[in-house]
Structure 1
Amino acid sequence: MVAVTTMGWLSQIRNRKRIKSVDDVHRSKNLGILSFETAKTMSRLVALYKSLSDQEINYLRDNVVQSKGVNYLNSADATSLFSLACAERLEDLDFTAAAIGRLGQKCIDLGFNRFDILYADLKLGTLHFETLEYGSRKIEKKIKEIERLVYATANLHASLQGLGELEVSERKIKQRKLYCELGTPDQNVNFDQFDQKLASHRKQVRYLKKVSLWNKTFDQSVEILARITCSVYARICMVFGPYIRDLPACGLVRPIKNVIGSRSGPILGASQHCLVRFHSQKPIRFLDVDGSDKEGSNNNRVFHAAGPNTVGGSGLAVRYANVILLVERYLDSNMTIGRDAREELYEMLPESLRKSMRSKLRKNVKKGPVTDKLMAGGWKEPLNEMMEWLTPMAHDTLKWQMERNFGSMKFESKPTVLLLQTLHFSDKEKAEAAIAEVLVGLSCIYWCEKRL
């Protein structure tokens, strides 16, 4: 039997005596330029933390999981949807923990230096969560501290960019100043005013370096991140435990509040599913007790779980989202659609969707000419009803893509969109039929109103 350890080391590490070698002293430098990547990691972790609040979980249960678009295009099985949500949140946490592990390798303290081992033990269920209560005063205080540091670091990043631009201008101004000293006066430049502006900006950068992550050590940063990571994992176990049997038992976590309240929602079920079945009908095991993936790549496993007969599996999610949003824009305006705009929209459609749309148009033409404005009104109501559940999924599809653009220097800490809210797992045939329907409806409305 594996001995259960405690999380006491988190509070004891800083009081432990250290023997610093020359290499240790070298490695104990402040974050410096790595503060920006650290701030991104902190932002992602705070976003994860906030995504597990009572409000967010209730919204997931009452709105997202029960939304018409998700149920019709993705799945009506609440257990599968919660299982997918859990898999994606855990994958996001794994990604963040890996970044923390890389920072930990630069720490002096051996406990932080091997954060990867701690996280592996956490996922194996060999650590108690007793001191890591989600929503506790101590954890909330840490979250506020992280947000303050991230805010200061984001300002530092912007200030350094501005300083770089000013220093480029400084070199040019020095050349112009030299020409002035050689007898070519320049009345358009106030050299003293520019020097004051540059000095003030450099002073601001020095201040922001002091109050931001730039001035924090690797050990200080990893200590904060380690605590929140463990708290987030404990919360995931409590919220999603009924759906993933390999997660440590939720009984180890003392909840601050009842996540679901008195309502009897699907999350209270006793189901222990850890499989997700969508329209591909292929069972996908996302999670294993050791965090490994026995059916594919360890990177973006949830994203790549979409089958070939889904919109995401066919690589069409972003394209279909753009088509839907273009229809939304045309519907909400009184503008005409010129020939070029129609051709552009038509070119966005794959051949299968073009065939479906042409077939529906022919059927409508056989019913008679569509030139009456009253007929246009008859099209608008059902079209608007379809757009009410298609449009949010299209918006969320593009939002998911932007939020996962890890290459950009963003410091957002808002809860992120889940894949189950997007068109990614949507049945391709159903999605194409719905999009063809709204395109035909849009065409009929424009014909009736003579806006083509």
Structure 2
Amino acid sequence: MGCLPEIASRVGHHDHRKPRGDAKNDDQLGILAFEAAKTMSRLLSLYKSLSDHHLVVLRKEMKSQGVAFLNSDDDNLLFSLACAERLEDLDKTTAAVARLSHRCKDYELNRFDLVYTDLKLGIVDFGRLEYGSKDTQKKVEKMEKLVSATAELYVALEVQSEIEICERKTKQWKGRANLEMFAQRVKYQRKLVNHYKDTSLWTKTFDNCVGLMARLVCILYARICSVFGPFFPILPSFPLRKTPPPDRDILLVQPDYCFIEPKNGKITSHSGPLSSKAEPISVRFYSQKSVFVFRGENPFGESSKKDKILHAAGPTTVGGSGLALRYANVILSVEKYLDPTISMDEDFRASLYQMLPENLKSSVKSKLRKSMRCRDDDSSLAMWWREALCHIMGWLAPMAHNTITWQMERKFEKIKFDTKPTILSWQTLHFSDKEKTEAAIAEVLVGLSYICRYEKC
């Protein structure tokens, strides 16, 4: 367990008796392996999202035209939101680890919820929680193999179930030849399932599984404190390495190898709804729960106790108006039909038009009337509009794609084992200025009308 027994030993006022578990396989995950793999994959996703490379990519994306124009061009605010979102993700995932930890026999692991509380209160020594070390990387690779094998087991069990159903139906039909074939397939599939059970989390103990995840939780929290500490002085201090590894091309910000450096003074940005003259967001911790605390004006509006990031978008934002997914689908539909080889029929135009709210329909109608009246017979406009649309879609379409991905990633109830870094809310249309977004969509639809009129119809 490394540092975890030292961490948990701070909770000294509880009974040190181990939980009971006398049955031979009581301590094995069994069917809970899938829930554990889902939780483990979310931790691995967070781990990758805090890598040197990903942080540099994230910093560059802040300067993208779509984010800067629709959301905010202030690095402080965007990094503050990123920190709050990653902490919220870690809180949710840690809650799942804590539920599994209550089945552990090891005392420190069994009380991991208290360990995490101590961690967030800043009374834990971060000395051994080194992100990216060889030891940590070995454990991450081990967890990736376990998640992969458990995902294979999940698929293999589904296939086995389907084959067994077909076998039972074949018995009812008394098809002797087919029955022998299905018997062989069932035999092979059961052997495959047993193999994946042996190599996956299915036969691992709660102590073994939670031990891996609990350690990674601590490492991730320490990493968040290291990366985002300049924005949140209340976070426990954990200095980064003084020099970067020689084999990595890292865009350094300051000598102590910190990726993020908050700007001095007030925020003066005027781009997007996240802009405000208020001071940057701060985060305060109470027990295991992250609580938003805003100094001065709250640039996000009222937030929900359950899902603060999602509900932090105000009424002037696309997400706060409940239009993020709808507008993303409109933008992606336009992107598809910008391909000269794809024709646009009347049914598509009607369905696209019906996706628009009334105010956007009116805006598009007004722009079309003015444009058509001014230059009704100018076919050169189609070429001009195609160039203009390529420019607009160059920064608008990535925001739409990210919105679709972000919405799918937030459906935690689905069984999934993806370990890729997740999208942050400010990379999507969720916090985008509603007026600016609708103006951009209206321009795109007017341009598409011209292209359809002169090139395709």
What TM-score does the superposition give when structure 2 sets the normalisation length?
Answer: 0.87
Q: Contact 2:8–2:112 at 8 Å: present in 1 too?
A: no
Q: Deviations over 1:342-367 (max 9, x none)?
A: 11000000011112111211221221
Q: Are 1:279 and 2:276 matched, yes or no? A: no
Higher mean alpha-carbon deviation, 355-364 vs 155-164, is at 355-364
Q: How many residues align?
A: 428
Equivalent pair of 1:370/1:447 in contact (CA under 8 Å)? no
Relative to structure 1, is the Cα distance of residues 140 and 272 closer, same or farther in structure 2, using a 3 angstrom cutoff? farther
Residue 296 of structure 1: CA displacement? 4.6
**Match in the other structure for 1:89:** 86
Aligned to 1:299: 306
Verify: 1:78 aligned to 2:82, yes or no.
no
Residues 137 and 233 of structure 1, relative CA distance in 2, 3 Å threshold: same
Residue equivalent to 1:315: 322
1:168 is paired with a residue whose SS is: helix
3-state SS of paired residue (1:267)? coil
CA distance in 1, matches of 2:266, 2:203: 46
**Cα 1:381/1:84, change in 2 over 3 Å:** same
Question: What is residue 389 of structure 2 aligned with on the other side?
Answer: 383
| Partners of 1:296 and 1:360 in 2: CA distance | 36
> What corresponds to 1:432 in structure 2?
438
Q: Following superposition of structure 1 onto structure 2, how do residues 238-249 of structure 1 map, counting pairs within 5 Å?
A: 238-249=226-237
Cα distance in structure 1, aligned partners of 2:303 and 2:221: 23
Q: Is 1:331–2:324 an aligned residue pair?
A: no
Return the offset for 1:333.
3.3
Q: Does 1:193 align with 2:194?
A: no
Cα deviation, 1:197-225, whole Å, max 9, x if unaligned, reads 11111111112111110001111111000
1: CA distance, partners of 2:204 / 2:428: 38
Find the aligned partners of 1:266 and 1:257 in 2 and give their Cα distance: 11
Is the 8 Å Cα contact of residues 324 and 435 (structure 1) preserved in structure 2?
A: yes
d(CA) in 2 for partners of 1:255, 1:29: 43
| Partner residue in 2 for 1:183 | none
CA deviation string 1:423-448 (max 9, x = no partner) = 00000000000000010011011112
Task: Please state whether the residue corresponding to 1:287 is helix, strand or coil.
Answer: strand
Give per-residue Cα distances to partners, 1:166-220, cap 9 Å, x unaligned: 111121122223xxxxxxxx47x43322211111111111121111100011111
Rounded Cα–Cα distance in structure 2 between residues aligned with 1:85 and 1:40: 22
2:39 equivalent in structure 1: 41
Tell me which residue corresponds to 2:408. 402
Report the 3-state secondary structure (helix = DSSP H, G, I; strand = E; otherwise coil) of the residue aligned with 1:25. coil
Are the equivalent residues in 1 in contact too, given 2:71–2:274 (CA < 8 A)? no
The partner residue of 1:129 within 121, 126, 129 is 126
Corresponding residue SS for 1:388: helix
Q: Which 4+ runs in 1 deviate beyond 4 A?
A: 18-21, 253-256, 258-261, 263-266, 270-274, 280-286
**Deviation (angstroms), 1:7:** 4.5
Amino acid of the structure 2 residue aligned with 1:257: P
Equivalent in the alignment of 2:295: none
- Structure 1, unpaired ranges of 5+: 1-5, 13-17, 178-185
Cα deviations by residue, 1:67-99 (Å, 9 ceiling, x for unpaired) = 000000000111000111111111110011000
Equivalent positions of 1:172-191 (< 5 A) are 172-177=169-174, 186=175, 189-191=177-179
Q: Which runs of 5 or more structure 2 residues have no equivalent in the other structure?
A: 10-15, 293-301
- The yes-or-no answer on 1:203 pairing with 2:203 is no
Q: C-alpha displacement at 1:269, in angstroms?
A: 3.2
Q: 1:20 to 1:102 in 2, by over 3 A?
A: closer
Counterpart Cα distance in 1 of 2:358 and 2:388? 25
CA distance in 2, matches of 1:427, 1:245: 30
Q: Residue 269 of structure 1: which of 248, 256, 262 is its match?
A: 262
Q: Is the 8 A contact 2:104 2:110 kept in 1?
A: yes
Question: 2:399 corresponds to which residue?
Answer: 393
Rate the CA distance shift 1:377–1:226 in 2: closer, same or farther, 3 A.
same
- The 3 A distance-change label for structure 1 pair 48 and 280 is closer
Q: Is the 8 A contact 2:160 2:189 kept in 1?
A: yes
d(CA) in 2 for partners of 1:46, 1:141:
13
Q: Structure 1 36/127 Cα, relative in aligned 2: closer, same or farther at 3 Å? A: same
Q: Residues 296 and 357 (structure 1 numbering): CA distance in 2 closer, same or farther, change over 3 Å?
A: closer
- Relative to structure 1, the CA distance from residue 266 to residue 150 in structure 2 (aligned partners, 3 Å threshold; closer, same or farther) is closer
Q: Deviations over 1:352-409 (max 9, x none)?
A: 111211121122122121452x221111111110000000000000001111221221
**Contact 1:44 1:412 (8 Å CA) reproduced:** yes
8 Å contact kept, 1:83–1:273: no
Distance across 2 between alignment mates of 1:256 and 1:32: 44
User: What displacement does 1:24 show?
Assistant: 3.0
1:289 lines up with 2:282 in the alignment: no
User: Does residue 357 of the first structure (1) align with residue 354 of the second (2)?
Assistant: no
- Is this contact kept in 1: 2:8–2:111, CA < 8 A? no
C-alpha distance in structure 1 between counterparts of 2:265 and 2:155, whole Å: 47
- Cα shift readout 1:405-425 (whole Å, capped 9, x = no counterpart): 212211000111111100000
Does structure 1 retain, via aligned residues, the 8 Å contact 2:319–2:430? yes
Q: Tell me by how many angstroms 1:163 deviates.
A: 0.8
Shift of 1:263: 4.5
Give the distance between the partners of 1:10 and 1:194, measured in 2 at CA.
Answer: 54
Q: 2:403, 2:428 within 8 Å by CA — same for their partners in 1?
A: yes
